[in-house]
Amino acid sequence: MASPSLPTRGEISSYRYRGPDSTWWPPDLRGYGLSVRKPVTFDDPLVPYSMLSRVGDVLGLVRALGYEKVAAVVGHDWGGPTAQWCARLRPDVFESVVSMSTPFLEAPALPLNTADKPRAHTVDVDMEKELAALPRPRKHYAWYHATRAANPDMWHAPQGVHDLLRAQFFFKSAAWEGNTPFPLEGWTAQELAKLPAYYVMDLNKTIAATMAEHRPSPAQIAACQWLTEADLQVYSQEFTRTGFQGGLNYYRVEFDPALDAELNAFAGRTIDVPAIYIAGSSEWAPYQTPGAFESMHTACSHLVGIHFVKGAGHSLAEEQPDAVTRILIEFLTTRAPGRRRSIGSEDAGDTPSAPRIALQVSTEHLANGDRQRLHLLGGPVLA
């Protein structure tokens, strides 16, 4: 009987891929694809999208599939934090973790030894105000995505959902020449303004307007073999049906004080299962939050590998499927639970551990037209 593996991704994939050594399950995360029966609205309850609810979703899926533990939980983009918290809270279930694009983030910190001491005076920086005050006024995409206006802006974009998504995928890929990332020096408006417009856009522009300015040419579209027009139709048809509010709720949770405070119960808790980080060499995600990449070793006690995939931007599993697959399979088959490697390590250890079920969580579809992209994680694993 084949041993199962579960990857957890987040949009439109809803299938399994089984082979002699593993089974991969890439489900739709809450708010994406087939998890949405009717379009989510801004006024719908936000609690189901909280981090603890999302961990519960993934844990419920594992058990519904008949398993008590999985070999790995793999998350990309918004799936990254979800996978990270699955491993942080239930290491008995999720035996290892991979975060793609999104660096491993620390749990909240609560101040120590402050009883009977005067509260230190701190000055909160209003970054929205600081960005708006720049000579070229700007705004951060995350705050914009948390507003009521974001969903109708994207869902009813003048260029249509299909062309909006085409521009967004291109803009964040290795094909866009402006994606030459570097670490930012700090959390200041001047430094954040160095990020591309898909992260920090002009104050008076929407996502739709920003993407319209960066739509690839017909020749560039024809040359994009990792995301054909047929592949993109899978995305555009689903987002046309559902809208974007389900995914946008993930940003809103980040700015909700009550939901954010729930995680204080796990202050200081590290991720203690074997972990690796994978990013595209041409994507800005590792550096969009200054200091996050550099502090991953604090978030993880067993960070055994960090990999930057050449020729890949944000959609690294689609842009360079063979390279990503090799990294994942090597990690699953040779990870060493008792070892910790420093940042920059390309080695995932050498103690065999038989994978059972790997779960992939992401906000991008795993399978090209439900066929080709299945190869991204499944092909070499199940060959």
* Amino acid 26: pLDDT: 85
**Are the C-beta atoms of 246 and 37 separated by less than 8 Å?**
no
Which residue type is seen at 220? Q
Among residues 251, 273, 302, the one where a domain terminates is: 251
How far apart are alpha carbons 338 and 53 in whole angstroms? 30
Are 149 and 215 members of one domain?
yes
| Residue 281 or 1, more confident | 281
Percent of the chain with pLDDT over 90: 74
Residue ranges making up the domain that contains 178: 127-251
Based on the structure, what is the number of domains in the chain? 2
3-state SS of the chain is: CCCCCCEECCCCCCCCEECCCCEEECCCCCCCHHHCCCCCCCCCCCHHHCHHHHHHHHHHHHHHCCCCCECEEEEECCHHHHHHHHHHHCCCCECCEEEECCCCCCCCCCCCCCCCCCCCCCCCCCHHHHHHCCCCCEEEHHHHHCCCCHHHHHHCCCCHHHHHHHHHHHHCCCCCCCCCCCCCCCCCHHHHCCCCCCCEEECCCCHHHHHHCCCCCHHHHHHCCCCCHHHHHHHHHHHHHHCCHHHHHHHHHHCCHHHHHHHHHHCCCCECCCEEEEEECCCCHHHCCCCCCCCHHHHECCEEEEEEECCCCCCHHHHCHHHHHHHHHHHHHHCCCCCCCCCCCCCCCCCCCCCCEEEEEECCCCCHHHCCCHHHHHHHHHC
Task: Dump pLDDT digits (tens) for 292-306.
Answer: 999 999 999 999 999
How far apart are alpha carbons 57 and 302 in whole angstroms? 25
| Residue 2 or 313, more confident | 313
* Amino acid 359: pLDDT: 65
How far apart are alpha carbons 355 and 344 in whole angstroms? 25
Are 50 and 134 members of one domain?
no
| Residue 376 or 307, more confident | 307
Are 85 and 52 members of one domain?
yes
In which band, very low, low, confident or very high, does the pLDDT at 16 lie, cut at 50, 70 and 90?
A: low
Q: Residue length, the chain?
A: 383
The answer to whether residue 366 sits within a structural domain is yes
pTM: 0.86
Are 309 and 370 members of one domain?
yes
Cβ neighbours around 51 below 10 Å, total: 22
* Amino acid 262: pLDDT: 95
The answer to whether residue 243 sits within a structural domain is yes
Q: Is the pLDDT of residue 381 over 80?
A: no
Are 270 and 377 members of one domain?
yes
**Are the C-beta atoms of 280 and 174 separated by less than 8 Å?**
yes
Task: Dump pLDDT digits (tens) for 61-110.
Answer: 999 989 999 999 999 999 999 999 999 999 999 999 999 999 999 999 99
Among residues 224, 251, 278, the one where a domain terminates is: 251
Partners of residue 97 on adjacent β-strands: 73, 275
Backbone angles phi, psi at 166, to 5 degrees: -60, -45
Among residues 203, 233, 251, the one where a domain terminates is: 251
User: Which residue do the tokens 């594992």 mark?
Assistant: 62
Q: Are strands 17-18 and 275-280 parallel, antiparallel or unpaired?
A: unpaired
The answer to whether residue 158 sits within a structural domain is yes
* Amino acid 15: pLDDT: 52
How far apart are alpha carbons 100 and 118 in whole angstroms? 42
The answer to whether residue 305 sits within a structural domain is yes
CATH number where 26 lies: 3.40.50.1820
The answer to whether residue 47 sits within a structural domain is yes
* Amino acid 224: pLDDT: 96
Q: Is the pLDDT of residue 362 over 50?
A: yes
Phi-psi region of 55 (alpha: psi -120 to 50; beta: other; left: phi over 0): alpha
Cβ neighbours around 99 below 10 Å, total: 31
| Residue 9 or 78, more confident | 78
* Residues sharing a CB contact under 8 Å with residue 254, sequence separation 6 or more, in sequence order: 142, 146, 260
The answer to whether residue 116 sits within a structural domain is no
Region of poorest pLDDT, from 24-28, 41-45, 225-229, 273-277: 24-28
**Sign for the pseudo-dihedral over CA of 332, 338, 343, 349:** negative
Task: Dump pLDDT digits (tens) for 32-51.
Answer: 998 999 999 999 999 999 99
The answer to whether residue 117 sits within a structural domain is no
Q: Is the pLDDT of residue 9 over 60?
A: no
The answer to whether residue 2 sits within a structural domain is no
**Are the C-beta atoms of 167 and 214 separated by less than 8 Å?**
yes
